[in-house]
């Protein structure tokens, strides 16, 4: 298995632009998580899905952030409009069940200038 | 200028020595804990896990100890190698959410 696949690996965008991060979870996993990692806050859970349904989005910082999971093999995290303080590494992870070991992708390094 | 951010504890060990990384958790209802290793430029990687009905679990060169009384976890790495240099996170399952601690930097000196 290729593991969790995220794209792009790096994204540089201007403030105000829309950014879409993509994730393909491991086949057969039914839980998917989006995390953000910064020096200031460490690894923060933004949102997680179970069977494609958003279960807890309490970590999503603002209305500028939205996440979707249209099917079991794809999820997106969108930021619109982006701001410099959104610069971070965004990780997607998946697991067989919500309470089990999560496997992480390589992350997307987002820089908003 | 002054740098502001998380000040992760750093553990420096000599190659070949044993390492002990500690973690405190806050939620007494958490029943599943995982240690992750994160190397530079990569996502966190599973090392070992433990459920709350156990107090010790061993893997290859790693041992996790759980003390529920004081809500404390530790990760012991035997015969530490240069490839063990990374940031180590303990994580707990709260409900179905995987919540991470701040992390500890492990530096292995050759």
- What is the predicted pLDDT for the residue at B2? 43
Query: Closest Cα of chain A to B77: distance in Å?
Result: 20
Rounded-to-integer distance, Cα B9 and Cα B5, Å: 12
For A39-68, what is each residue's pLDDT tens digit? 888 999 999 999 999 999 999 988 999 999
Q: Are B90 and B33 in contact (CB under 8 A)?
A: yes
Query: Closest Cα of chain B to A64: distance in Å?
Result: 22
- In chain B, which among 46-105 make CB contacts under 8 A with chain A? 46, 49, 89, 93, 95-103
**Across the 110 residues of chain B, what is the mean pLDDT of every consecutive 10-residue run?**
66 97 90 94 95 95 96 96 96 85 94
Q: Which residue of A has its CA nearest to B4?
A: A40
Counting other chains too, the contacts that A66-69 makes at CB distance below 8 Å and 24 or more residues apart are A67/A34, A69/A32
Q: Which residue of B has its CA nearest to A105?
A: B43
Burial of B41 (0-12, 13-18, 19+ CB in 10 A): exposed
Residue A71 has pLDDT above 90, yes or no: yes
Q: Are B10 and B107 in contact (CB under 8 A)?
A: yes
Q: Are A53 and A31 in contact (CB under 8 A)?
A: no
User: Taking the CB of residue A46, how many other CB atoms lie within 10 A of it?
Assistant: 19
- Which residue in the set B4, B34, B96 is minimally distant from A55, CB to CB? B96
How distant is the alpha carbon of residue A46 from its chain centre? 7
- What is the predicted pLDDT for the residue at A6? 98
A79-103: average pLDDT: 91
Q: In the block, which residue shows the tokens 């107090």?
A: B55
- What is the predicted pLDDT for the residue at A1? 62
């Amino acid at each position: 298995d290729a593991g969790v696949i995220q794209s792009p690996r790096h994204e540089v965008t201007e403030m105000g632009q829309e950014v879409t991060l993509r994730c393909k979870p491991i086949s057969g996993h039914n839980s998917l998580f989006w995390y953000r990692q910064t020096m200031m806050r460490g690894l923060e859970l933004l949102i997680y899905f179970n069977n494609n349904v958003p279960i807890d989005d309490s970590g999503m910082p603002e209305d500028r952030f939205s996440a979707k999971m249209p099917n079991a093999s794809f999820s997106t995290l969108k930021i619109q409009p982006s701001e410099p303080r959104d610069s971070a590494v965004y990780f997607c992870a998946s697991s067989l069940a919500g309470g089990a070991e999560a496997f992480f992708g390589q992350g997307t390094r987002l820089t908003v200038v | 200028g002054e740098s502001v951010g998380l000040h992760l504890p750093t553990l420096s060990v000599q190659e070949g020595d044993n390492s002990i990384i500690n973690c405190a958790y806050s939620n007494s209802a958490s029943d599943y804990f995982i240690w992750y290793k994160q190397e530079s430029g990569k996502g966190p990687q599973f090392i070992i896990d433990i459920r709350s009905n156990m107090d010790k679990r061993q893997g290859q060169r790693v041992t996790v100890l759980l003390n529920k009384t004081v809500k404390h976890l530790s990760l012991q790495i035997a015969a530490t190698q240069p490839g063990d240099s990374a940031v180590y996170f303990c994580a707990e399952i709260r409900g179905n959410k995987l919540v991470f601690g701040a992390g500890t930097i492990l530096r292995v000196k050759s």
